[in-house]
Structure 1
Amino acid sequence: MKVLVTGAAGFIGSHTAERLKSLGHQVQAIDNFSSYYDVELKKLNAKSLSEKGITVEKVDLRKDDLSKVIKEDIDYIFHFAAQPGISTTSTFDDYFSNNFFATQRLLDLFETFTKKPFFVNIATSSIYGLNAIMTEDEAPKPASWYGVTKLAAEQLVLAYSRRGLLKGTSFRLYSVYGPRERPDKLYTRLIDCGLNNKPFPLYEGSEKHLRSFTYVQDIVDGIVSVIGNEAVCNGEIFNLGTEEENTTATGIATVEEILGSKIIIENKPARPGDQSRTCANIDKARKLLKYNPQTSLKVGLEEQVKWFRNNFMK
């Protein structure tokens, strides 16, 4: 089958593109190589994909002519492209245009297709709000522009499914970590600070935050399980994560244990909209998709430290 991966030079998108290729699928990969974080990391990811036979095309979903890039021969779209995270430097328009408007432009294109791809929307636990501990059937209460716009994009895709315009599903991901994690995210930053003797910015109260830290390959297991389960997935939302909870303090201690050194902590004011707890309820994914994450926090972080050393400590 031919699959399209948007945001393919990013963290989870690149891993998913690789997995799909390894499963024998033809992968078309696109990314806008946004400067939200260091473009060199995206180029590094794209290079890794290129070595596996996947070329990442530079495409901006918000303004490029998508009909010249995306043809009717694709069977699946895995839509990762988004403005991620909670950032004081990102405007509402950044979140709206990248998360909602870009998704709408894809759907507008697909509406013109006779053969419509199965739309796999990649969403986030931030949709649930400050305490992401709910099932897929409970009302979300997003508390950030990121969560609000990702919820809007998710519902846009599902609206098309409800109207019978295409088939699709949405996966809400929980606190993903591992090799290629963005430099602004917890563990890449911790590892960088620990190895390079730099202060780590710890936001007030965040050391007590509980997270379902989920290793990236466990997340990819859930995402690709949609293939062959289209009838079960169509119109549905699934949480993907681990049921194991760890505090940020535990995460810091685990990285310190792996590195064999203490990390310098620099205390910062609390961030508005930051989640105090995430705990993935994955009963639905376990039952319908046989989803079963296995990687412990320490094992996953050992892989991430190895990746960081190999790529940034030469």
Structure 2
Amino acid sequence: MSTYLVTGGAGFIGSHLGDSLLASGHRVICLDSFSDSYDYRVKMRNILPGGLPDSLAALSDKEEALAKLKRSLPSERYRLETVDLRDSEALERIFESECIDAVIHLAALPGVRASIEQPLLFDDVNVRGTLLLLETMRKAGVRKWLCASSSSVYGHNEKVPFSESDPVDTPISLYAATKKSCELMGYTYYHLYGIDGMMLRFFTVYGPRQRPDLAIHKFARLIDQDREIPFYGDGTTKRDYTYVEDVVAGIRGALDYVEKHESVYEVLNLGNSRTVSLTEMVDGLESALGKKAILQRLPAQPGDMEMTCADIGKARRLIGYEPRTSFEEGIRNFVRWYGGRSS
């Protein structure tokens, strides 16, 4: 049994990863700030996927609800720490109280458009927060980690599919710049202090528990409610949508590789290697929901990429990564979860 610290562990990807690690018999320390980016009860439901008890759902005080949540955790091998990544004293307390085998760093402020509006906050949380985490790891002697990066680092890369060897020196959003900064800091701590790690570039992850502000979840909700969906551009922008279970399998493969090897610093794409246009995505939701979308046509947004598409050859070679879920199947799974949650 190993002990893993998962930052952002109550979020979309983090909660799925936590479930996977618990199912394999490991201990999980979930670190999450339950920020006000969206309703904190969404993350509470992620931790308690069997359903949020009425006694918790009825509480209007966030601190009281989180305190009660800690008494209702899914396993005795699961520890919840409601801590901001920038709280260095709290981080040190956690690392001093636990023998942590590896860190999976998923916590970050998300969103290309939000980062353009709040660049200083994004720098503080995503860059400084990651640096504080690395410093705490160094002091505690934790020498294995994974760090969530993003396909957004590729910017307006004209070479398709995107390869880890492609230049990523021209980010077109502050969010992308913060993720590239985290990759660079990861290399610095590998070079100076021998902290082994993999920087995992996620490509548009979707599936059950997806954040409510992300396109698939937001569009499904608006279509279901017969409301207009914001449809930016002409519908030809394309994304490499990657199902969450495939991403979790990739994270587990990367974790296994880093733990078994010495002197590791790698950047890996975790995508599906198939593009789906915005129009095709909406069509898929319409089909799965059995309802037509009402489009609010809007101009293209600054900072948005025209296309993302992952070359996953390196991930296949190093960690045996092989996405298995088609977009059509993944959308059906998401809508099934959405319907069950909304009923």
Q: TM-score by structure 1 length?
A: 0.94
Which of 82, 96, 106 is the aligned partner of 1:80? 106
Provide the C-alpha distance between the structure 1 equivalents of 2:189 and 2:225, rounded to a whole number of angstroms. 48
Q: Could you tell me which amino acid in structure 2 is paired with residue 266 of structure 1?
A: Q
- Structure 1 residue ranges without an equivalent (≥5): none
Bigger shift: residues 15-24 or 130-139: 130-139
Aligned partners of 1:166 and 1:83: how far apart in 2?
Answer: 24
Indicate conservation of the 8 Å contact 2:146/2:255, yes or no: no
With 241-250 and 43-52 compared, the bigger mean Cα shift is at: 43-52
- In the TM superposition, what is the alpha-carbon distance from 1:88 to its structure 2 partner? 4.1
Aligned length: 311
- 2: CA distance, partners of 1:64 / 1:108: 9
Note the 1:102-181 alignment, pairs <5 A: 102-113=129-140, 115-131=141-157, 133-140=161-168, 141-181=170-210
Whether contact under 8 Å (1:179, 1:303) holds in the other structure is yes
Alpha-carbon distance between aligned partners in 2 of 1:156 and 1:174, rounded to the nearest angstrom: 21
> Which structure has more helix as a fraction of its residues?
2
State the Cα distance separating 1:232 from its structure 2 match: 7.7
Q: Secondary structure at the match of 2:49?
A: helix
Q: Distance in 1 between matches of 2:273 and 2:156?
A: 17
1:163 Cα deviation (Å)?
2.2
1:186-201 to 2 correspondences below 5 Å: 186-201=215-230
Aligned position for 2:125: 98
Out of 87-96 and 3-12, give the one that drifted further.
Answer: 87-96
Aligned to 1:51: 74
Given candidates 222, 244, 249, the residue that maps to 2:250 is 222
Partner of 1:277: 307
> Which deviates further from its counterpart, 250-259 or 154-163?
154-163
User: Where does structure 2 lack aligned partners over 5 or more consecutive residues?
Assistant: 51-72
Where has structure 1 moved over 4 Å in runs of 4 or more? none
Q: State the Cα distance separating 1:26 from its structure 2 match.
A: 0.8
Instruction: Report the Cα offset of residue 186 of structure 1.
Output: 1.2
Q: What is the CA-CA distance between 1:276 and the residue it aligns to?
A: 0.6
3-state SS of the aligned residue for 1:163?
helix
Matched, 1:304 2:331: no
CA separation in 2, counterparts of 1:51 and 1:20?
A: 12
Find 2:285's aligned residue among 249, 255, 258. 255
Q: Distance in 1 between matches of 2:114 and 2:139?
A: 38
- Mapped contact 2:88–2:132 kept (Cα < 8 A): no
- What letter is aligned with 1:101? R
Q: Which residue of 1 aligns with 2:94?
A: 69
* Counterpart secondary structure, 1:97: helix
The CA deviation at 1:55 is 4.0
Q: C-alpha distance in 2, partners of 1:168/1:144? A: 25
1:76-111 superposed Cα distances (whole Å, 9 cap, x missing partner): 100000011113474111211111000000111122
The percent identity for this pair of structures is 33
